[in-house]
Amino acid sequence: MVEKEAASIIWPGKPLSRAFYNRAATTLAPRLLNKVLAAADGRAGRIVEVEAYVGAIDPAAHTYRGKTPRNAVMFGPPGHMYVYFTYGMHWCCNCVSGPQGDGCGVLIRALEPLHGIAQMRAARPRTAHDRDLCRGPARLTQAMGISGAQNGIDLVGAHDRFAIVDDGMAPPGDLVGSTRIGISRGKDSPWRWSVPGNRHVSGTASQRG
């Protein structure tokens, strides 16, 4: 019950403005660290790892070659959720960042579970340790109940199912971008950020920094 009360504080929480998202992904991405991804059913986790994908200048971005049915949401208004299906089985979740039409977004790679942890465990019954519930982009979508049905929903305005909110914790200081994980092109761009020392960050020990 304590958990449920805490979740009610997070949800709907203090919403982030559309202007917050309406900036280059590389500027927005580290500012998303320590914000909270919250679901209407009470599940919530602190964002501890992100990667920026920067539209037409980024060969690793889905939007690099222009607009397609799959990536159309990325070209839409900032603050919306772009959810895509990959490796035949996994969903990954991005927050669109502006300016509108540029195809920029931020991949949310890891959360530190805060609330609704029992529901996260139920969604990932084979996960032995809570540390791993949201450690990785496809794990967190499964734990939070995010799938293609949520592609395109508004994280700023309607707040009907999911939202990214500010609960007062500032992003970490001394942020340094590192290279992104799991891509074959655009490897050298330092567009990945994480909360230093946080155990819920994905990747190997050397990648976690």
In the complex, the residues that contact DNA under the rule CB under 7 A are 51, 53, 60-63, 65, 68-71, 74, 82, 84-90, 92, 94, 105, 107, 109, 124, 126-127, 132, 136-139, 180-185, 202
By beta-carbon proximity to DNA, the closer residue of 173 and 206 is: 206
Could you tell me if 114 and 10 are in contact, meaning their C-beta atoms sit under 8 angstroms apart? Answer: yes
CB of 12 to DNA, least distance (A): 25
By beta-carbon proximity to DNA, the closer residue of 11 and 75 is: 75
d(CA 209, CA 207): 6
CB of 109 to DNA, least distance (A): 7
CB of 18 to DNA, least distance (A): 20
By beta-carbon proximity to DNA, the closer residue of 13 and 135 is: 135
Quick check: bond before 196 cis, omega within 30? no
Q: Give 209's Cβ-side CA count (13 Å radius).
A: 16
CB of 133 to DNA, least distance (A): 9
By beta-carbon proximity to DNA, the closer residue of 41 and 64 is: 64
Torsion of CA 190, 80, 123, 60, to 10 degrees: -30
By beta-carbon proximity to DNA, the closer residue of 87 and 188 is: 87
**Bridge partner list, 97:** 104
CB of 186 to DNA, least distance (A): 9
Q: Which residues contact 131 (CB under 8 A, 6 or more apart)?
A: 199, 200
Q: Got the DSSP string for 130-196?
A: GGGTTBSHHHHHHHHT--GGGTT-BTTTT-SSEEEEE-SPPPPSS---B--SS-SSSTT---EEE-T
- Which H or E run contains 115? strand 104-115
CB of 4 to DNA, least distance (A): 26
By beta-carbon proximity to DNA, the closer residue of 115 and 180 is: 180
